[in-house]
Structure 1
Amino acid sequence: MSDGAVTVFLVRHGETASHAENRYLGRTDARLTETGQLQAAELAGWSSRARLTAIVSSTLRRARETANPSATLAGLAVRLDERLVELDFGEAEGLTAAEMRAKFPQDRAAFEVDPFGNPLPGGENPVDALDRGRAALDDLVRAQPNGRVLVVTHSTFLRILVCALVGLDPSRYRDALPKVRNVSGAVVRRDAVGRWGLLAWNPPLTRTTDIWA
């Protein structure tokens, strides 16, 4: 593509042990499970034919472990960017939704009404997370004119960022984008005049699937 457009594959990392009970995993530096490693290998099969020009990853271990096999097969180095890490969930770290309702019911109720405007107790303000995400993407676009970039990041961060890019209210990210599959997420493209569009949501990324040429 030579029209100045940049295609970004925003992908959630592979499975961790927290997924089985749907526990909130923010800044805890968890590793992938065996299933997560297999998922990363599937993503690498897709990356080997996707004509990527760069691979960028959150600095957290689960993201790095997801990105590394893709980098190997694509013949690229992984660039780490701490601005792509998951939100800090504060007192909610490691808890399930039910445990939060028992521990801080009013805060959890407010979060469920508007998770963007009412961060979990002690957690990062989503406005700040969105600001760092936008800054990271702006730098990426400047560095990769006509590029095709794999970005390995995290579920909540990814959903907030995608909502903002495509014009959805970020306060609705839990309703508008309720689930991000592991090693999937959003295919977005920024055109030459700076407009972002969503090409796909939660697509399978394996050796035999679309590469959005």
Structure 2
Amino acid sequence: MIDEVVMLRHGRTAYNLAHRLQGQIDVPLDIVGQWQADQSGYALASRFYWAKVSECAARPELIAQPPASAAERTDLGQYREAPAAARRMVVISSDLFRAQQTAHAFADLLGLDVILDERLRERSFGQWEGLTREEIKAIDAAAYASWKQHTGGETRYGVESRAHVGRRGAKAVQELIADPRYAGTTPTTMMLVGHGSWITATITRLLDLNPDGMNALGGMRNACWCRLKVRHTVNGRDVDEPLFELQEYNAAPPIANNADWENGPAELRGPSIPDWQPIVW
């Protein structure tokens, strides 16, 4: 039974750096994006270390054993008896490569598999994919202004609406929660690795907020995460559909508060990499 959902956005890409709309274009992480993914992976792996113990208890072949000449063998019973063994984690990633890279930066540390799911793909930006805001404004200033004001002008260019992204994202989350593979009695944390607009729109829908209203959530930084508690009962009674409580939004590893998160450390930035600049509408 899935009782916790974590949503992790991918690290930076060259399109992010240039402020080009990626949408569903398949773009890998750049060097700073890999650093961001690794830093968040380390932080989350530390928090969810219990998941490694749980995986080892379920798959004892993952546990290292000394040579036959050693005085003792590794005690597999310690893993099976650990309270962590009573819980499990599943990692599911968008099939776009930048999300896969970010998922593996976390999952590989804990010996967890990564399951790919195209339902986690980013919002489609239609004819605007690959363009900067300046280029979009030059093509159709009125549609650009409408997009900026959340009045839907972007849909004329095949851009997926925020509401539609939220509906398909929430549907994917609800279907995964109901999936027989995860719907048993074992408490389960589901890590979903994907994209900023998808995460924001999906959570907005799950919380029944207006995706175009003032109560909508803000944007996500690269390689940051959100966490939701999933309730299957209220006052001891089962509910028809799970309820969601937002526990964390746009959370980052501690290093993000002590370093230049968007640009990465100086030793990674060669002369061909420009400084990241905030988005200007």
Normalised by the length of structure 2, the TM-score is 0.66
Whole-angstrom distance in 2 between the partners of 1:117 and 1:199: 33
Q: Hey, what does 2:226 align to over in structure 1? A: 186
Does the alignment pair 1:197 with 2:194? Answer: no
Whole-angstrom distance in 2 between the partners of 1:120 and 1:18: 23
Does the alignment pair 1:12 with 2:12? Answer: no
Alpha-carbon displacement from aligned partner over 1:38-63 (angstroms, at most 9, x marks no partner)? 11212221342314511010000100
Task: Give 1:103 shift.
Answer: 0.7
Whole-angstrom distance in 2 between the partners of 1:167 and 1:151: 20
1:90 counterpart (102, 106, 126): 126
Instruction: Check whether the contact 2:24–2:123 (CA below 8 A) recurs between aligned residues.
Output: yes
SS at match of 1:171: coil
Task: Give 1:117 shift.
Answer: 7.8
Q: Hey, what does 1:166 align to over in structure 2? A: 207
Alpha-carbon displacement from aligned partner over 1:19-48 (angstroms, at most 9, x marks no partner)? 223221111100001111111212221342
Whole-angstrom distance in 2 between the partners of 1:198 and 1:119: 29
Aligned positions of 1:71-86 closer than 5 A: 71-86=107-122
Aligned positions of 1:49-60 closer than 5 A: 49=46, 50=48, 51-52=50-51, 53-60=89-96
Whole-angstrom distance in 1 between the partners of 2:156 and 2:199: 17
Does the alignment pair 1:42 with 2:78? Answer: no
Task: Give 1:114 shift.
Answer: 2.1
Mark the CA change 1:203 to 1:120 in structure 2 (over 3 Å): closer, same or farther.
farther
Mark the CA change 1:94 to 1:102 in structure 2 (over 3 Å): closer, same or farther.
same
Identity of aligned residues (%): 29
Higher relative contact order (CA 8 A, sep 6+): 1
Q: Hey, what does 1:101 align to over in structure 2? A: 137
Whole-angstrom distance in 2 between the partners of 1:48 and 1:33: 22
Does the alignment pair 1:152 with 2:152? Answer: no
Task: Give 1:111 shift.
Answer: 1.6
Instruction: Check whether the contact 2:170–2:203 (CA below 8 A) recurs between aligned residues.
Output: no
Mark the CA change 1:119 to 1:186 in structure 2 (over 3 Å): closer, same or farther.
farther
Whole-angstrom distance in 1 between the partners of 2:167 and 2:198: 11
Equivalent residue letter for 2:116: L
Instruction: Check whether the contact 1:42–1:205 (CA below 8 A) recurs between aligned residues.
Output: yes
Q: Which structure: larger Rg?
A: 2
Alpha-carbon displacement from aligned partner over 1:104-163 (angstroms, at most 9, x marks no partner)? 112212222226685361223444433321222112222435211211111111111111
Equivalent residue letter for 2:249: W
SS at match of 2:221: coil
Q: Hey, what does 2:216 align to over in structure 1? A: 176
Contiguous gaps of at least 5 residues in structure 1: 208-213
Q: CA RMSD of the aligned region, Å?
A: 2.3
Equivalent residue letter for 1:8: V
Q: Choose 127-136 or 63-72, whichever is displaced more.
A: 127-136
SS at match of 1:26: coil
Size of the aligned set, in residue pairs, is 203
